[in-house]
Structures are given as C-alpha cells and as structure tokens.
C-alpha cells in the first residue's frame, strides 16, 4: 500500500493559492498485496455493506475489520466519498480507545486520515499531523505490519509534504524511514521504489537506480505502480534509453 501524498499536498496548496475545488481520482490506485498474520488480514476485498455491518458490532475485532475494510474500499477506488473515509476513521477511533497499543490499528488510522485528506484537501493540513502521529505510533508498536508499512508511509509523507513551516516535509527523515522499511521487508518492491525516489531527491542517482532495479525484481512487483506521481521522476531517471553509439 501507498498513499498519494503528492496529490494530497498539491491539492492542498492549490486550494490555499487559488481556492480550487477538491481533486479526487487524480492518480491511479497502486496495487496492493494482501498482508496476513494470525490476527489480521489487510487489503482483502470486501463490500461497503460488510464494513457498515462490522462497524455496528460491539466486538473489537469486528470494529478493526470494519476499518480495514474501509481502507481497502478507498484504496481500491470502490468508494470515493469523503464520508466513507470519515466513517472508517470513526470506527478505528472507537477501536483504538479500547486498544491503544494496537500497531495495526494506528497504521489503519494513519491511512484513513491520509485518504480523508486526499478527498477533502481543505482539511488536508489539519490531518497531516494526525497522519504523522498515528504512523509514528504504528512504527513504534508494529513496524513489520504491511511489509514495513509504517516506515514506508512516513518516508513518503516526509518526501512529498511541503517543508516547514507549511508542513512536515524533510528529506533526511524520509531517507531514514525508507531505509528502515527496506531492512524490515527487503523483498517488497514499494519499499525499494520509495527509497529510490528519496535517494534521487537527495541527489544520489546511482543508489536510487540500484533500488529501482531491485524493485523490478522484488515481491509482488506490478508495473502499474510506476505510473503514480510519486515514482514518475524515478522512472524517468532510471529508465532512459542509453545514448546511441557513434
């Protein structure tokens, strides 16, 4: 999984500068690989009816599954309304009040905050600190979830967000978190793509392209992921045809 933070931030800035309307559906959804443990399964298909039914349950496990379902529905593009992101955030908040040490719960909370920001750019800057805090908690409690997902999420946030004082962008922090994600799950392609994008931004083209090459050979690679804005610059730098021989 990967959030379209660049789209979120561009939309946010656009709204501040020229009072533009919210932009949704501005980028293709990145393919997701189901992540399973004995207690939880992320990114499996579900329906909105299931999400709503599970949210109404009094069982903690059902509430968590509901929030996970909302996350998949939003990531897959099955639902596209801000209200669905808000509904998911409400049910995960309910779950976390009773289970504050759930790393998976904080990870899904961060994801849903990002989706709400994407769908409602005028709320975006208010939601970035929420996203950051929840992702940091997830990293502390369950860094391995979703193949290093918390560090990958933080890496992209710090890479794509505007720098202070407007937001939290920081290339140094981005590199640290992407490196952690790669160490946690070295055969997961999104970790290498993200790290490559951050390295390229930091002027380390050779290292960036090495990670790009590794991503192409890594677990679950799907070329559709290269069409997202986050990796556009990386693809351009590392897939250029060699100069013709004279």
Question: Is residue 245 domain-resident?
Answer: no
Q: What is the pLDDT of residue 245?
A: 41
Is residue 243 a part of any domain in this protein? no
Q: Is 129 within the bounds of a domain?
A: yes
1 pLDDT tier (thresholds 50, 70, 90): low
Answer whether residue 242 is part of any domain: no
**Average pLDDT of the residues in 15-41:** 55
Whole-angstrom distance, CA of residue 54 vs CA of residue 59: 9
Cβ-proximal residues to 178 (8 Å cutoff; 6+ apart), any chain: 151, 152, 155, 159, 191, 194, 195, 198
In a domain, 144, yes or no: yes
30 in a structural domain: no
How far apart, in whole angstroms, are the C-alpha atoms of residue 234 and residue 241?
14
Average pLDDT of the segment spanning 104-111: 98
Q: Is residue 205 part of a domain?
A: yes
Look at the chain and report how many structural domains it folds into.
Answer: 1
| Pick from 122, 105, 118: nearest CA to 42 | 105
Stronger pLDDT, 157 or 25, i.e. the higher one? 157
Nearest to 106, CA basis, from 132, 126, 84, 82: 132
Domain containing residue 181: CATH number: 1.25.40.10
Average of pLDDT values for 99-108?
98
Give DSSP secondary structure letters for 171-203: HHHHHHHHHHHHHH-TTBHHHHHHHHHHHHHTT
CA distances from 152 to 3, 38, 85, 197 (A): 10, 22, 21, 12
The pLDDT tens digits of the residues spanning 178-234 come to: 999 999 999 999 999 999 999 999 999 999 999 999 999 987 888 888 888 788 899
Structural domain harbouring 155: 5-23+38-237
Distance CA 235, CA 217 (A): 15
Say if 72 falls within a structural domain. Answer: yes
CA dist 39 and 236 (Å) reads 40
Residue that wins the pLDDT comparison between 55 and 20: 55
């Amino acid at each position: 999984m990967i959030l379209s933070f660049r789209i979120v931030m561009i939309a946010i800035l656009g709204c501040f500068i020229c009072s533009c309307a919210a932009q949704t559906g501005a980028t293709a959804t990145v393919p997701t690989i189901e992540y399973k443990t004995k207690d939880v399964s992320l990114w499996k298909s579900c329906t909105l009816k299931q999400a709503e039914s599970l949210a109404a349950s009094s069982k903690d496990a059902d509430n968590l599954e509901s929030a996970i379902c909302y996350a998949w529905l939003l990531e897959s593009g099955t639902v596209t309304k801000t209200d669905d992101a808000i509904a998911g955030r409400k049910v995960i908040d309910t779950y976390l009040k009773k289970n504050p040490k759930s790393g998976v719960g904080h990870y899904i909370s961060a994801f849903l905050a990002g989706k709400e920001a994407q769908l409602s750019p005028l709320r975006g800057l208010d939601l970035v600190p929420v996203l950051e805090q929840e992702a940091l908690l997830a990293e502390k409690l369950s860094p391995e979830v979703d193949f290093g997902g918390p560090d990958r999420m933080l890496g992209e946030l710090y890479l794509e967000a505007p720098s202070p004082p407007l937001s939290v962008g920081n290339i140094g922090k981005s590199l640290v978190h992407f490196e952690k994600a790669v160490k946690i799950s070295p055969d997961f392609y999104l970790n290498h793509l993200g790290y490559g994008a951050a390295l390229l931004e930091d002027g380390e083209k050779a290292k960036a392209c090495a990670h790009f090459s590794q991503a192409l050979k890594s677990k679950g690679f799907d070329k559709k992921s290269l069409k997202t804005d986050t990796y556009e610059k990386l693809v351009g730098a590392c897939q250029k045809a060699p100069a013709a021989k004279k």
